[in-house]
């Protein structure tokens, strides 16, 4: 239990100070609870002696009301501090995880599903803010209150105090055994929770494909299996905890019975005064109330430990070396020297060397899986090369701080993601202070001003998550407007026109032309018209550059590029 407390407070960082303040409040609150005992004993003394005076009543009432008032105020302050610390920690850790994810290699996102990351940043952090904070503070409060009352009882009769301590030792022995049992199922619980989130997200995101391929029953069955598994895990946890909770509560009740029985026996033997006997009997009913509550909540402590571990596991993943210098390159030439890169023992890029002058357009073509996208990711340092070096402006990209490196790149991907926000904010994404005039100017260059103005609220129209309320071509043009706003000197276009319908293609090509003017361009494409006029064409196959040159030069060679062009021309000649 103590180990989990240490882990929790360490994880909370700067907010742990508020938890420590809350613990101080807890000690004061426990002392106020313990003050009920002297108040009761004073009243009993007056009753037994037959000398209940107004002064005695006022004294007892003063202790009770004073302790109640102070206790209520302290509990209020403790609750406020706990809430601030709990929700503050959850908010800070979400931000910290998000920032950390920015600097992880792309391989992490290939190996870990969206569901797992979502589970950690939502369920896990929500559990930390709501449940973990409450559990930790209630369990510590219960222990503190019981310990202070035990010390108070020692002042009246050390023998009853020892009985109370023995009961507490037995209680914690049972609780420790319960924690060990919880450890076995807690991992399965957190794993099942993550799996459930994964299946729900997968089902919702893929609902169109599920319905289109008539897989509703099959896919729903997987979701139902995840739900059933999560149900089984929760039931299994309860079946483990309930007997131990009953046992530790039984220990508490039995200890109270023993305290009462011994107090009566000591009185009958003449070794305990009647006042003390009655007082100890009354105390035996109230002493364990806080500890019983703490014991019931302690069943969740093991899960809290795993909650902290899940979040910390992400934060402990080694990030890329991003602590370079804030460099502004003298030019935007791009060079690769003897670059190798492998993913899970499979070599993706094999000894690639090339030099791309600034303000030129380089088209990258080749078979699927040949390494085209990976090559661009290495240039932008989404990955680090296993061997060789990648240079921008004559400086190794590892010399740049990551943020200063990213200032030099803009991206337009095949699959555009737009945020559930206004169109204006999606265009100015990353430049929140950009004036509306610049947003409109970028939209006009990207050929999307007209369709934006046709929307109900124009630039203030809130689009659905992922841009679901827009067509593919409209999303692409907004993405291009976003890149125009950034005005980076190096542009990477990854199949930017692959899924665009013919009606939008002309406008999209005009938008790309506005984006790429006087820039260094890397263009991954399968369409002939998008690569024909490039300054250089790279043909990538099996991680190697097997051909390079201008369109006319490559057409005079037998190879992949010529076959690529011929196949496209043949396809274009088909008519119904």
Summarize pLDDT for 453-486 with one digit per residue, the tens: 888 888 888 887 666 667 777 888 888 888 888 8
Summarize pLDDT for 91-121 with one digit per residue, the tens: 888 888 888 887 777 666 665 556 677 777 7
Whole-angstrom Cα distance, residue 478 to residue 497?
A: 13
- Alpha helices, DSSP H, located in 50-105: 54-102
| Average pLDDT of the residues in 122-150 | 75
Predicted local confidence at residue 97, as pLDDT: 85
The mean-pLDDT minimum among 110-124, 171-185, 359-373, 450-464 falls in: 110-124
H or E stretch at 50? none
Q: What is the mean pLDDT of the chain?
A: 79
Helix (H, G, I), strand (E, B) or coil at 351: strand
Instruction: Give the confidence band of 377 by pLDDT, cuts at 50, 70, 90.
Output: confident
R_g (Cα) of the chain, nearest Å: 35
| Average pLDDT of the residues in 530-553 | 85
Predicted local confidence at residue 265, as pLDDT: 92
Summarize pLDDT for 246-274 with one digit per residue, the tens: 888 888 888 888 988 998 999 888 898 88
H or E stretch at 326? none
Distance of CA 388 to the CA centre of its chain: 34
Summarize pLDDT for 192-205 with one digit per residue, the tens: 877 787 777 777 76
| Average pLDDT of the residues in 368-377 | 85
| Average pLDDT of the residues in 410-426 | 82
Predicted local confidence at residue 299, as pLDDT: 64
pTM of the entire predicted model: 0.63
Q: Say whether pLDDT at 569 is over 70.
A: no
Q: Say whether pLDDT at 499 is over 60.
A: no
Domains parsed from the chain with CATH numbers: 2-315 (1.20.1560.10), 322-408+525-576 (3.40.50.300)
Of 266, 292, 48, 27, the C-alpha closest to 158 is 266
> Do you know the residue count of the chain?
576
Predicted local confidence at residue 144, as pLDDT: 76
Return phi, psi of residue 545, to 5°. -85, 105
Helix (H, G, I), strand (E, B) or coil at 112: coil
Of 316, 313, 312, 317, the C-alpha closest to 12 is 312
Helix (H, G, I), strand (E, B) or coil at 152: helix
458: left (phi over 0), alpha (psi -120 to 50) or beta: left
Predicted local confidence at residue 212, as pLDDT: 59
Percent of the residues in the chain that have a pLDDT greater than 70, as a whole number: 86
Instruction: Give the confidence band of 500 by pLDDT, cuts at 50, 70, 90.
Output: low
What is the number of other CB atoms lying within 10 angstroms of the CB of residue 184? 11
The CA–CA distances, whole Å, from 335 to 343, 390, 436, 465, 534 equal 22, 6, 37, 38, 18
Predicted local confidence at residue 575, as pLDDT: 44
Of 82, 58, 70, 61, the C-alpha closest to 30 is 70
Whole-angstrom Cα distance, residue 536 to residue 548?
A: 7
Pairing, β 361-365 against β 536-541: parallel
| Average pLDDT of the residues in 387-395 | 90
Instruction: Give the confidence band of 528 by pLDDT, cuts at 50, 70, 90.
Output: low
Better-predicted residue by pLDDT, 166 or 102? 166
Summarize pLDDT for 19-72 with one digit per residue, the tens: 888 878 878 887 787 777 778 777 777 777 777 777 878 888 888 888 888 888
Predicted local confidence at residue 111, as pLDDT: 56
């Amino acid at each position: 239990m103590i180990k989990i407390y240490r882990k929790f407070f360490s994880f909370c960082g700067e907010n742990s100070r508020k938890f420590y303040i809350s613990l101080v409040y807890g000690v004061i609150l426990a002392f106020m609870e313990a003050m009920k005992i002297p108040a009761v004993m004073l009243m009993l003394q007056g009753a037994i002696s037959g000398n209940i005076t107004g002064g005695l009543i006022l004294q007892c009432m003063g202790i009770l009301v004073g302790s109640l008032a102070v206790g209520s105020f302290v509990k209020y302050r403790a609750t406020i501090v706990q809430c601030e610390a709990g929700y503050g920690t959850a908010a800070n850790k979400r931000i910290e995880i998000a920032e950390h994810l920015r600097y992880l290699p792309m391989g992490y996102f290939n190996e870990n599903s969206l569901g797992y990351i979502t589970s950690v940043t939502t369920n896990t952090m929500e559990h930390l803010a709501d449940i973990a904070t409450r559990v930790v503070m209630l369990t510590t409060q219960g222990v503190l209150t019981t310990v202070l009352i035990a010390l108070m009882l020692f002042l009246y009769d050390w023998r009853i105090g020892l009985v109370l301590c023995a009961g507490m030792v037995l209680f914690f022995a049972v609780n420790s055994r319960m924690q060990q049992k919880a450890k076995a199922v807690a991992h399965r619980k957190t794993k099942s929770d993550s799996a459930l989130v994964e299946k729900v997200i997968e089902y919702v995101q893929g609902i169109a494909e599920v319905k289109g391929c008539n897989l509703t029953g099959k896919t729903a069955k997987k979701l139902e299996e995840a739900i059933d598994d999560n149900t089984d895990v929760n039931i299994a946890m309860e079946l483990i905890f309930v007997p131990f909770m009953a046992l530790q509560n039984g220990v508490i009740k039995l200890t109270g019975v023993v305290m009462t029985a011994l107090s009566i026996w000591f009185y009958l033997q003449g070794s305990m005064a009647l006042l003390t006997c009655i007082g100890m009997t009354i105390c035996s009913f109230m002493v364990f109330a806080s500890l019983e509550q703490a014991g019931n909540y302690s069943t969740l402590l093991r899960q809290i430990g795993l909650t902290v571990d899940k979040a910390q596991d992400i934060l402990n993943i080694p990030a890329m070396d991003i602590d370079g210098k804030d460099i502004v390159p003298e030019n935007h030439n791009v060079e690769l020297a003897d670059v190798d890169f492998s993913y899970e023992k499979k070599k993706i890029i094999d000894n690639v060397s090339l030099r791309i002058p600034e303000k030129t357009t380089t088209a990258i073509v080749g078979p699927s899986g040949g390494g085209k996208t990976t090559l661009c990711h290495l240039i932008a340092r989404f990955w680090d090369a296993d061997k060789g070096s990648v240079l921008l402006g004559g400086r190794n990209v590892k010399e740049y701080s990551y943020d200063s490196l990213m200032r030099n790149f803009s991206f337009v991907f095949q699959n555009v993601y737009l945020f559930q926000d206004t169109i204006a904010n999606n265009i100015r994404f990353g430049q929140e202070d950009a004036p509306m005039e610049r947003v409109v100017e970028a939209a006009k260059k990207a050929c999307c001003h007209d369709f934006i103005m046709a929307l109900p609220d124009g630039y203030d129209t809130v689009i659905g998550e992922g841009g679901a309320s827009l067509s593919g071509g409209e999303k692409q043009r907004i993405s291009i407007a976003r890149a125009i706003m950034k005005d980076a000197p190096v542009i990477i276009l990854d199949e930017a026109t692959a899924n665009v319908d013919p009606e939008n293609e002309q406008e999209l090509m005009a938008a790309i032309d506005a984006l790429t003017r006087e820039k260094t361009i890397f263009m991954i494409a399968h369409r002939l018209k998008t690569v024909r006029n490039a300054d250089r064409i790279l043909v990538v196959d099996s991680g190697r550059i097997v051909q390079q040159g201008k369109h006319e030069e490559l057409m005079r060679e037998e190879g992949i590029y010529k076959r690529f062009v011929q196949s496209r021309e043949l396809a274009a000649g088909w008519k119904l």
